[in-house]
Amino acid sequence: MNFERIKRVKSSKAFTVPDAIVSVIMVIAVIACALFVYRLPSADVIISVRGEKDIRLSLDSETDIELKHLTVHIHGGQVWVTDADCADKTCENIGKISGTWQRIVCLPNGVVISVTGDDDSLQWEIGR
């Protein structure tokens, strides 16, 4: 053992400016990793047409989908319908939805639009 070196280390300052910078960088890195790993699973938008076709898109997808009888808009984490050709316009009047399991239904055209969570993290489903 080198006693000189031990003495030098013991007498030096415990926490220097470069140490602080390194610490701050490390804390930021850890938080960034944690956010990356534990980021909230994004919700999905499911558009079902006449109970036959299912379209699945991310709620973050920032897109507009022109269906035969109406247009679905997905922007800023919200979903809404315009240009519906149904008589009642119930689907348009529902307005913007964003929460999980909220739903827009256009009965005359058989369109159901729902917001859902990230199902991929489940191992199984029951109740079919």
Partner 1 sequence: MLCVCVCGCAAAGYTVFEPIAVFSDDILFSAKISGGRADYVYKRMKDAISEIDNEISLSKADSALSRFNNAAQNERIEVGEHAFNLFKLSCEYYELTDGAFNCAALPLSRLWRVDSASLACLNGESDAADLPSPERVNETTAYCDPNTVTAECVDGRYYLTKTNGNTELDFGGIAKGYAVDECVDILNEYDVSSALIDISGNAYFYGSYIDSGVSSDWGVGVLSPRPRNGPSLSRGYVVALSLGGDVSAVTSGDYMRYRTVETSDGKIYVPHIMRANGVPLGVEYDGNNWKNSDDWVISATVIGNSSALSDALSTAMCALGIDKGGELLKKVGYKGLIFTEKKYTIIGEVSLYRPDIYDGYRRYDYYEL
Number of residues that bind partner 1 (CB under 8 A): 25
Tell me how far apart the alpha carbons of residues 54 and 52 are, in angstroms, rounded to a whole number: 7
- Sheet of 53-58: strand order equals 53-58, 44-49, 111-116, 103-106
Listed in order, strand segments (DSSP E) in 25-70 are: 44-49, 53-58, 63-66
Determine if 114 is a binding residue for partner 1 (CB under 8 A). Answer: yes
Query: Considering only residues 91, 104, 112, 113, which one is a binding residue for Zn ion as defined by CB under 5 A?
Result: 91
Query: Considering only residues 6, 22, 28, 54, which one is a binding residue for partner 1 as defined by CB under 8 A?
Result: 54
Determine if 23 is a binding residue for partner 1 (CB under 8 A). Answer: no
Q: Choose the one of Zn ion, partner 1, none that binds residue 7, judging by a C-beta under 5 to 8 angstroms depending on kind.
A: none
Q: How far is the CB of 65 from partner 1 (least distance, A)?
A: 15
Looking at beta carbons only, is 47 or 84 nearer to partner 1? 47
Pair 105, 90: CB distance under 8 Å: yes
What is the token pair recorded at 9?
Answer: 């280390």
Query: Considering only residues 46, 49, 86, 94, which one is a binding residue for Zn ion as defined by CB under 5 A?
Result: 86
Query: Considering only residues 72, 74, 106, 112, which one is a binding residue for partner 1 as defined by CB under 8 A?
Result: 112
Tell me how far apart the alpha carbons of residues 27 and 32 are, in angstroms, rounded to a whole number: 9
φ/ψ of 37, rounded to 5, equals -70, -45
Which residues are at the interface with partner 1 (CB under 8 A)?
A: 41, 43, 46, 48, 51-52, 54, 56, 100-101, 105, 112, 114, 116-119, 121-128
